[in-house]
């Protein structure tokens, strides 16, 4: 076990229990990501194993499908698959992989004329796919998906010059900056949270992002809780969905005590079986299990980034 934060009454995260959970319930990718996170084995070998696991979802076109996004089981390459591939590539820092730039090439090829990504591309094999993926308009740019893909790609760009200098990243960033500036009076909770994540991620390269975050402040309630319209009753975007990482301007939306409370809440969410749960519906038995493995690794990564592991 690891020590709890000073002064915290939250029990420490049980890494041994988490390891047992991912061994028994997580897909190979998340088991490999967990090993990399906690330092199991030689780092170079473990990083290579993560890449091999991600390659299992890769298509010849350079994109990713096959359920890498658990509720999008289609074999087709999808923007949501790109998001989760970039999550894995970000874990590798400072190790770079040519797969990241190749993914940028694919994203450039499927981007719409305004530089944005469609929420999903056409899904010819919709079995076990969530209806919002299978029924998406592939001809309309989505700020929600483009923003979170760019935010995650920007984490890779921080150490991978091939991604940082790729034309797709700058073009998609320009689309998002413009789209954020045109957000209506009642943005969807997920669109808003991912827009703030995006602005936080690109603020170093685009100083205007901090001003845009201030403009979005009026949409974020003081407690940081926004119900996800169309989701389940208890599905909310929370402060750490807006500002998961320390050090950026997005954290200015919330008081330090609120962020600490949310980190306590996150750590305390470890279940008796060692894993974490999600607060949204899944659309297949496989997705139900896979989301828990993904959430467990993502939670541990976030806690570590915030000095809680």
pLDDT at 287: 97
In angstroms, what is the C-alpha Rg of the chain?
A: 18
Q: Average pLDDT, stretch 79-94?
A: 98
Q: Where are the alpha helices (DSSP H) in 56-166?
A: 79-91, 98-110, 131-134, 143-157, 161-164
CB-side exposure of 208: number of CA atoms within 13 Å?
A: 7
Q: For 250-267, write each residue's pLDDT tens digit.
A: 999 999 999 999 999 999
Q: How far apart are CA 48 and CA 70, in angstroms?
A: 23
Model pTM score = 0.95
Instruction: List CB contacts of 84: < 8 A, sequence separation 6 or more.
Output: 64, 68, 69, 294
Domain boundaries, the chain: 26-305
For residue 7, pLDDT over 50 is answered with: no
pLDDT at 55: 98
For residue 96, pLDDT over 80 is answered with: yes
Q: For 173-230, write each residue's pLDDT tens digit.
A: 999 999 999 999 999 999 999 999 999 999 999 999 999 999 999 999 999 999 999 9
Domain topology for 26-305? Glycosyltransferase (1.50.10)
Separation in Å, CA 104 to CA 24, 149, 171, 181:
34, 11, 11, 25
- How many residues are given for the chain? 309
Q: Average pLDDT, stretch 280-294?
A: 96
């Amino acid at each position: 076990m690891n020590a709890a934060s000073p002064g915290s009454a939250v029990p420490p995260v049980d890494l041994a229990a988490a390891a047992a959970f991912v061994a028994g319930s997580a897909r190979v990718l998340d088991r490999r990501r967990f090993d990399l996170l906690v330092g199991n084995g030689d780092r170079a070998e473990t990083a290579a194993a993560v890449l091999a696991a991600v390659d299992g979802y890769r298509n010849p076109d350079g994109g990713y499908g096959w359920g890498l996004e658990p509720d999008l089981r289609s074999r087709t390459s999808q923007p949501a698959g790109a998001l989760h591939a970039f999550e894995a590539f970000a874990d590798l820092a400072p190790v770079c992989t040519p797969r990241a730039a190749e993914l940028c090439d694919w994203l450039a090829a499927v981007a719409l004329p305004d530089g944005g990504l469609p929420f999903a591309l056409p899904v010819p094999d919709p079995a076990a796919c969530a209806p919002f993926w299978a029924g998406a308009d592939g001809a309309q740019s989505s700020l929600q998906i483009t923003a979170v893909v760019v935010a995650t790609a920007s984490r890779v760009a921080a150490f991978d010059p091939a991604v940082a200098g790729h034309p797709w990243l700058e073009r998609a960033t320009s689309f998002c900056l413009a789209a954020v500036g045109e957000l209506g009076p009642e943005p969807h909770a997920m669109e808003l949270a991912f827009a703030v994540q995006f602005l936080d991620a690109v603020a170093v390269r685009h100083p205007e992002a901090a001003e845009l975050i201030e403009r979005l402040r009026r949409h974020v309630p003081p407690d940081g809780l926004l119900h996800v319209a169309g989701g389940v009753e208890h599905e909310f975007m929370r402060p750490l969905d807006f500002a998961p990482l320390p050090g950026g301007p997005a954290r200015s939306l919330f008081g330090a005590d609120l962020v600490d409370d949310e980190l306590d809440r996150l750590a305390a969410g470890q279940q008796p079986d060692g894993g974490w749960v999600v607060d949204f519906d899944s659309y297949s038995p496989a997705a139900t299990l896979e989301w828990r493995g993904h959430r467990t690794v993502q939670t541990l990564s976030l806690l570590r980034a915030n000095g809680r592991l």
